[in-house]
Chain A
Amino acid sequence: MGITIKKSGRMPRFNAEGIAREIQRFAPGAITRRTEQGLDINGRPFAPYSRRYRNFLKRGGEDQKIDLRLTGGLMNSVKARDALLGADRVEVTIAPDTGTSPVWVPKSGSRKRAAKAAARGRDPSTSYRMQRTSKQSPPHNMVGYWLHNGTPTMRARPWMGLDPKQTAYLREMIARVMWR
């Protein structure tokens, strides 16, 4: 007994472009949004900032939540940097760029202004300011690497990737466009 297979119409084709597109549409936003929520790639809260860094943020009037963001340059640079499309595989590189951000430091005199504001019954936190220096940060990809893996003086805060829930969501998105 044999089996006869009859082919009619057009066979679906592996949609490498569509898959790459969905990854590019989803991954950068997923990474920046989850990081902003203070969660790492395992869905756990980031290690807290050191007291010294919290103080630095406070003196600059910055939000002290742990979102790995100061100028926004690193997070803004996260996007698709490369895509390799094959007959049966897709590889998309999502990463920060090699650009740098200006270095900002707390503006001198902030404490005095804050004390004056407090004396006048105003919110002192709005008196703190940062000022731009002529220096530039290390490249964003390096900063991202250090944040992700940690350094001898800084705890690791793994942020570059998708958490399990995001991965599952991306799989569903890919499944909808995988064949065309």
Chain B
Amino acid sequence: MSGADAAGPIADSAIEDLRAVRESLQRDLLRILLQLDTNTGEDSLVRRQGQTAVAVYRQVEQRLAALGDEVANVAGARAVEAVAAVVGTPPATLPLDVRQELDQIVNGQIGDVVAVFRAANEDIRQAVARGITTGGSLADIVSEVALKLDTSVKRAQFAVDAAVMAAGRRAVVSIALDIEDGGERMAFVYVGPRDGKNRPFCRQWVGKAVVDPRKLDNGQDLPVEDFCGGYNCRHSWAPTPIPLAIDEGYRIYDVQGGAPVDVTDTFRPATFEAQNVVDVG
């Protein structure tokens, strides 16, 4: 029986979390470095990402070590052996009391992802915003959020996934709504899959365009410009100049008095004939 087995299913999952994070980061790092090899001297942005990845990897190594220490402090010296499973040394069988303590620790960290996200919405937003503005790696943000919320890296990863998707949509929508003198007004085409899993909101809007997604309501108490149909939504907003959207056959809607109204025709340029109609009746 391996030490991981002996630590009980929940301790198993904690160890699995740590191992998965370590492996995925190693893999990510290797892939980034591999791309650097293929694109030598070509793209400064990619080079910067590579440098960031190395720095982040070191931080994550430290974070994993800290997690190991944390478990050891609470659960006793034998728990160190369970953590050692992460770095490849099989731990010895754990006594029942240590196993229970480990279970308690991990149980304390298990919470609904949505609840974690809501409780720490602002913290996550700040971490994500900081990461985006400084060009930091998202893996870095995950570590930061995990540390800040005192939750598992896996939970933090879920929360950050949702926050990053939201931040990505927000960035695209915000700049498209910000019109300078002479700038083109945009409609927002709702793009993504059409299948049996679409939420009612997505089913209603996919393939259509709106003048301002902030006016819509997805019925989930979440900003539509950030989350589209809700958490884990597969759809996104594609800002498109209004004449181009009409040219490509999209209908454009606005919300007036709480109900969607088709306003496509109000954006069509007046035709020569229409401008020169003479009522001879």
Residues of A near any B CB (own CB < 8 A): 18, 21-22, 24-26, 28-30, 32-33, 36, 61-63, 65, 67, 69-73, 75-77, 79-82, 93, 95, 97-102, 123, 125-126, 128-129, 134-136, 138-139, 141-142, 145, 169, 173, 176-177, 180
Contacts and interface: CB of A to CB of B under 8 A. Distances in A.
Nearest to A77: B168
B154 A134 contact: yes
Contacts of A61: 195-197
A81 B49 CA distance: 12
A72 B16 contact: no
B168 A97 contact: yes
Contacts of A32: 191, 236, 238
Contact of B192 (A69, A98, A141): A69
A63 B234 CA distance: 11
Contact of A176 (B46, B168, B171, B184): B184
A135 B180 contact: no
A136 B154 CA distance: 10
Contacts of B161: 73, 99, 101-102
Interface of B: 16-17, 20, 24, 27-28, 31-32, 35, 45-46, 49, 52-53, 135, 137-139, 154, 157-158, 161, 164-165, 168-169, 171-172, 175-176, 178, 180-184, 186, 188-189, 191-197, 232-241, 244, 248
Residue among B24, B52, B137, B234 with most chain A CB within 10 A: B234
A21 B175 contact: yes
A28 to B, nearest CB: 5
Contacts of A63: 193-195
A136 B79 CA distance: 27
Contacts of B135: 81
Nearest to B52: A98
A29 B238 contact: yes
Given A82-B45, A100-B24, A29 B32 contact: no
Given A70-B234, A95-B45, A97-B168, A139 B28 contact: yes
A169 B241 contact: yes
Given A33-B191, A33-B238, A73-B165, A139 B233 contact: no
A141 to B, nearest CB: 7
Contact of B35 (A93, A125, A142): A142
B35 A145 contact: yes
B175 A24 contact: yes
A73 B168 CA distance: 9
A50 B188 CA distance: 31
A71 to B, nearest CB: 6
A87 B22 CA distance: 45
Given A62-B195, A180-B181, A75 B137 contact: no
Contact of A177 (B158, B175, B176, B180): B180
Contacts of B241: 26, 169, 173
A102 B137 CA distance: 16
Given A102-B158, A138-B31, 4 more contacts: A25-B178, A80-B175, A139-B31, A176-B184
Contacts of A26: 184, 239, 241
Contact of B20 (A22, A134, A139): A134
Nearest to B191: A36
Residue among A62, A102, A134 with most chain B CB within 10 A: A134
